[in-house]
């Protein structure tokens, strides 16, 4: 689909939209949100094969498109496509072409309206300094404004994604070396990002100044690897070395020499995204040195202490809430039961463009176990409520399956603000907790009771030595955006995230 089309397919509806700001009018279009997974390797004889396996491990971070670019010291080799990693690289020829010992890969999350091959990453450009490929997880909040400026100066864009803005900035830099040009470009943009850049003979990894998006460094025998999540290292047999620091740029060049430098002018307070812990990352990954499953379980325990329920069984919404639900069950002493069966072959319901689409996909995806549910008072634990589609549907489903009472418990606080840093949730106007008190949300989803985990309880559950919520990006719960959104952004936004 062309990035300028609206969800309804009406190309005339090219309204300027800004999904994050308070009070913006509800509009079916989306901003340039790219919630994705990245992986890079330097110095492996079968770089493409390793990237492929790592991308499969990161598939949960994006199912819309996948791509790999490799380099052999002189040229770049690219293969990208729409769909799952295994589909995109189904034909052996597509892998065989990807020669070289350096490589980067990307999986992209579906954001409706911008789903087309042209938006698949890595973005590849030919420059006077040679070929350059960029793979990016996150979102640059000022990309539309910069894009507008560049387009006015004659720049031509071929995708709707902000990664291309970075490519332009790198190419335009007058700096002597490619590393300096990258630093130049990075200093002109703001947002939450984990970025991998491949040149013909080097690999660069950068994490945003607040460390909002995750990036990990590892070692696979003699090769260096960089990944969004540590589960990719486990899959390929790599060893975790450390997290890339907020604002750090790592360059790996000849013979695997690793150089680290800070690319931020003024150090910023680290504020990693708490939603990675809540929902997005895989439970077998570690973030900031702590295991995601353990954190989710601790969130469930905390929730049980804060919001007990008089009930017979606890069930979780597969898969992301199972950890929290087991924590809730253990702490409360109420037995955990397998109450919902998930059909693994149904794509994520969250990303369906229409409400009817989301609802019917949910029916296909989750089925309650009537035998377990009949006559029971059920605690239903989910990691989050965004639009409320899932909770509303599940409460009804459990009642139809015989549940006597349904007590909804959410292992995170009310989600009230849209994310501008790369987590694709709904726009603010669609968020069910926006402008509603908890009991109003309870009524809207039809539960007997509803309780959310407190902000403090959530932070405590991470076990990390931070001084409260300010040690994370918790903007989706509080509206406190660590990276300011440009005031005049609305002027530059078009449907599909294209700059005007």
- List active site positions: 36
Of the pair 166, 423, the CB lying nearest ligand AMP is at 423
Give CA–CA dist 413/128, Å, rounded: 49
| Cis previous bond, 206, omega within 30 | no
Instruction: Quote the least distance from Cβ 480 to ligand AMP, whole Å.
Output: 19
DSSP string for residues in 343-386: -TTSPPSTT-SSHHHHHHHHHHHEEE-HHHHTT-EEEEEES--S
List contacts with ligand AMP (CB under 6 A): 279, 317, 320, 348, 350, 382-391, 423-425
Of the pair 102, 361, the CB lying nearest ligand AMP is at 361
Of the pair 443, 488, the CB lying nearest ligand AMP is at 443
Of 218, 75, 204, 72, whose CA–CA distance to 134 is shortest?
204
Q: For residue 314, list its beta bridge partners.
A: 336, 379
How many beta carbons lie within 10 A of that of residue 144, not counting itself?
Answer: 27
Instruction: Quote the least distance from Cβ 445 to ligand AMP, whole Å.
Output: 9
Q: For residue 103, list its beta bridge partners.
A: 41, 70
CB-based contacts of 231, cutoff 8 Å, min separation 6: 57, 58, 281, 282, 284, 285
Of the pair 60, 376, the CB lying nearest ligand AMP is at 60
DSSP class of 336: B
Q: Which H or E element spans position 248?
A: strand 248-253
Give CA–CA dist 203/40, Å, rounded: 7
Of the pair 271, 365, the CB lying nearest ligand AMP is at 365
- Burial environment of residue 129 by CB neighbours within 10 A (0 to 12, 13 to 18, 19 or more): middle
Instruction: Quote the least distance from Cβ 122 to ligand AMP, whole Å.
Output: 22
Of 443, 453, 449, 446, whose CA–CA distance to 415 is shortest?
453
Of the pair 302, 382, the CB lying nearest ligand AMP is at 382
């Amino acid at each position: 689909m062309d990035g300028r089309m609206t969800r309804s397919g009406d190309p005339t509806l090219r309204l300027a939209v800004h999904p994050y700001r308070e009070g913006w009018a509800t509009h079916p279009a989306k901003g340039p949100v790219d919630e994705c997974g990245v992986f890079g390797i330097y110095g492996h004889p079968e770089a493409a094969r390793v990237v492929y396996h790592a991308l499969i491990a990161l598939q949960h971070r994006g199912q819309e498109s996948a791509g790999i670019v490799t380099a052999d010291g002189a040229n770049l080799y690219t293969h990208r496509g729409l769909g799952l990693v295994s589909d995109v690289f189904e034909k052996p020829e597509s892998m065989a072409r990807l020669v070289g010992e350096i490589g980067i890969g990307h999986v992209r999350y579906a954001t409706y309206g911008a789903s087309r091959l042209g938006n698949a990453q890595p973005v590849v450009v030919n420059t006077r300094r040679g070929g350059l490929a960029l793979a990016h997880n996150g979102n640059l909040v000022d990309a539309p404004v910069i894009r507008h400026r560049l387009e006015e100066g004659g720049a031509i864009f071929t995708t709707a994604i902000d990664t291309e803005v970075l490519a332009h900035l790198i190419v335009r830099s007058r700096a002597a070396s490619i590393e300096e040009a990258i630093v130049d470009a990075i200093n002109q943009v703001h947002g939450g990002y984990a970025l991998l850049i491949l040149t013909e003979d080097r690999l660069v990894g950068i994490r945003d100044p607040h460390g909002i998006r995750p990036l990990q460094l590892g070692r696979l025998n003699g090769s260096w690897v960089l990944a969004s999540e540590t589960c990719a290292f486990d899959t390929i047999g790599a060893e975790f070395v450390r997290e890339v620091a907020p604002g750090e740029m790592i360059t790996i060049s000849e013979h695997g020499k690793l150089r680290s430098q800070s690319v931020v002018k003024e150090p910023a307070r680290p504020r990693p995204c708490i939603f990675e812990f809540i929902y997005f990352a895989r439970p077998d990954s570690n973030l900031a040195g702590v295991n995601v499953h353990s954190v989710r379980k601790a969130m469930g325990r905390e929730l049980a202490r804060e919001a007990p329920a008089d009930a017979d069984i606890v069930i979780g919404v597969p898969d992301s809430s199972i950890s929290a639900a087991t924590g809730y069950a253990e702490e409360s002493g109420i037995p955990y039961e397998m109450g919902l069966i998930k059909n693994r072959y149904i794509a994520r319901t969250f990303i369906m463009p229409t409400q009817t689409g989301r609802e019917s996909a949910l029916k296909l995806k989750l089925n309650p176990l009537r035998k377990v549910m009949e006559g029971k008072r059920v605690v239903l634990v989910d990691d989050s409520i965004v639009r409320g589609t899932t909770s509303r549907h599940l409460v009804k489903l459990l009642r139809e399956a015989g549940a006597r009472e349904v007590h909804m418990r959410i292992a995170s606080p009310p989600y009230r603000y849209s994310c501008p840093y790369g987590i694709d949730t709904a726009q603010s106007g669609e968020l069910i907790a926006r402008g509603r008190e908890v009991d109003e949300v309870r009524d809207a989803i039809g539960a007997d009771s509803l309780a959310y985990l407190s902000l403090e309880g959530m932070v405590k559950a991470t076990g990390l030595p931070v001084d409260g919520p300010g040690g994370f990006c918790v903007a989706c719960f509080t509206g406190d955006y660590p990276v300011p959104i440009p005031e005049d952004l609305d002027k530059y936004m078009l449907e599909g995230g294209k700059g005007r």
